Amino acid sequence: MQFIDYKVYNIEENDNEILKKNISGSNQKGIIIVYSNNVKEFSLENAKDFLEKIIKAIGLNLEQDTLCVPLTQDTPCSFRSLNEFNAKHLFVFGLTPQQMGIQAQIGNYEPVQLNNCHLFFADNLYELSTNQSKKRALWNYLKETFIH
pLDDT in tens, 74-97: 677 888 888 889 899 999 999 999
φ/ψ bin of 86: left (φ > 0), alpha (ψ from -120 to 50), beta (otherwise): left
Angstrom distance (rounded) from CA 45 to CA 37: 10
Question: Which of 3.40.50.300, 3.40.470.10, 3.90.1300.10, 3.40.920.10 is the CATH number of 16-146?
Answer: 3.40.470.10
pLDDT, block means (10 residues), the chain with 148 residues: 46 61 90 86 87 95 95 79 90 93 91 93 94 96 91
Task: Residue 115: name the closest of 85, 76, 145, 80 by CA.
Answer: 80
pLDDT in tens, 64-76: 999 999 987 767 7
Single-letter code of the amino acid located at 49:
D
pLDDT at 94 (0 to 100):
92
